[in-house]
Amino acid sequence: MSTIAFIGLGNMGGGMAANLVQAGHQVRAFDLSAEAAARAQGNGCAVLPTVREAVQGVDAVVSMLPNGAIVENVYGADVIGQAPTTALLLDCSTIDVATARKVAGAAAAAGYAMVDAPVSGGIAAANGGTLTFMVGGSDAAFSRAEPILTAMGKAVIHAGQSGAGQAAKICNNMILGATMIATCEAFALAEKLGLDLQTFYDISSKASGQSWSMTSYCPVAGVGPASPADNGYQGGFAAALMLKDLKLAMEAAESAGAEVPMGARAAELYEAFTAAGNGGTDFSGIIKTLQS
């Protein structure tokens, strides 16, 4: 078993670090929040007062941080040049492709192997160890990352070279944002046309309108499997996080010169939904803006 530094013990990182402990790893944890650090300590992590101290002598560093600027700063100031160069670096945060490549490049120049390994799955999957990891990095780095990530997830997929994990994540979530809105629109129109919504679900879930947004996360209360719609759109995947991912997709599309008209419209609609005070609402709650 390995000694692993874990940086960022929030909603996602807290459960992930606990699962590394459960798998038998020694986890040296750090978070700016004393409350998050105390929770990690309760889950069997050793809490260190700084990132620099947390990364001393470790076999690997895992991070789960809010955004690219923070990831760049933490790795640049306190991980690269501080952790042993034999340590594998794994950033699991969702960040922009360009920053992921830049940080991995700086790590490589200093002699480290690094992977970007963003996740699909929310807080329940982080706690339950059932995340899906999309990994960008060399074949050798992926082989080293796989057993560590397996302790926190149900699937670990090599997406390609550095940045490919982030690219896969934002392309996937761009589909999710657009299909959720399309599904919400269809239910709102079906209702106005006098269709029974359960009947519409029974038809569309077995016809070509089927998608994950419909059959695994139906935005209508009482229809389909249990979802945040059944809980007043609380819990689940916050609209603010969907907007974050769509903005990353728009940035990436612009720099790659890709046409993404549906993704762009989804980003505008989630921007408006969030600006109206719904950032903490589950992203399927956007159906409320279409039902009036």
Residue 154 annotated to the active site:
no
Distances in Å between the Cα of 235 and the Cα atoms of 58, 180, 217, 238 are 35, 16, 12, 7
Number of amino acids touching ligand NAD (CB under 6 A): 25
Specify the stretch interacting with ligand NAD by CB under 6 A; choose among 59-67, 144-152, 226-234, 283-291.
59-67
Give the shortest CB-245-to-ligand NAD separation in angstroms: 7
Give the shortest CB-95-to-ligand NAD separation in angstroms: 6
From CA 26, how far away is CA 258, in angstroms rounded? 44
93 near ligand NAD, rule: CB under 6 A = yes
* Selected binder of ligand NAD within 237, 270, 273, 283 (CB under 6 A): 237
Residue 143, C-beta contacts closer than 8 angstroms, at least 6 positions apart: none
Q: Determine which one of 169, 192, 206, 247 is catalytic.
A: 169
Chain residue whose CB lies nearest ligand NAD? 10
Residue with tokens 């903490």: 280
Give the shortest CB-278-to-ligand NAD separation in angstroms: 16
From CA 179, how far away is CA 181, in angstroms rounded? 5
Specify the stretch interacting with ligand NAD by CB under 6 A; choose among 1-9, 133-141, 144-152, 211-219.
1-9
DSSP string, the chain: --EEEEE--STTHHHHHHHHHHTT-EEEEE-S-HHHHHHHHHTTPEE-SSHHHHTTT-SEEEE--S-HHHHHHHIIIIITTTS-TTSEEEE-S---HHHHHHHHHHHHHTT-EEEE--EES-HHHHHHT-EEEEEES-HHHHHHHHHHHHTTEEEEEEEESTTHHHHHHHHHHHHHHHHHHHHHHHHHHHHHTT--HHHHHHHHTTSTT--HHHHTS-SSTTSSS--GGGGTT-SSSBHHHHHHHHHHHHHHHHHHT---HHHHHHHHHHHHHIIIIITTSBGGGGGGGG--
Give the shortest CB-144-to-ligand NAD separation in angstroms: 22
187 near ligand NAD, rule: CB under 6 A = no
Give the shortest CB-167-to-ligand NAD separation in angstroms: 15
123 near ligand NAD, rule: CB under 6 A = yes
* Selected binder of ligand NAD within 66, 105, 111, 232 (CB under 6 A): 66
31 near ligand NAD, rule: CB under 6 A = yes
Give the shortest CB-140-to-ligand NAD separation in angstroms: 26
For ligand NAD, the closer of residues 22 and 33 by Cβ is 33
240 near ligand NAD, rule: CB under 6 A = no
48 near ligand NAD, rule: CB under 6 A = no
149 near ligand NAD, rule: CB under 6 A = no
105 near ligand NAD, rule: CB under 6 A = no
From CA 275, how far away is CA 241, in angstroms rounded? 13
Specify the stretch interacting with ligand NAD by CB under 6 A; choose among 96-104, 183-191, 236-244, 257-265.
236-244
Q: What is the set of active-site residues? A: 169
- Give the footprint of ligand NAD on this chain (CB under 6 A): 7-13, 30-33, 36, 64-66, 70, 74, 93-94, 119, 122-123, 237, 241, 244
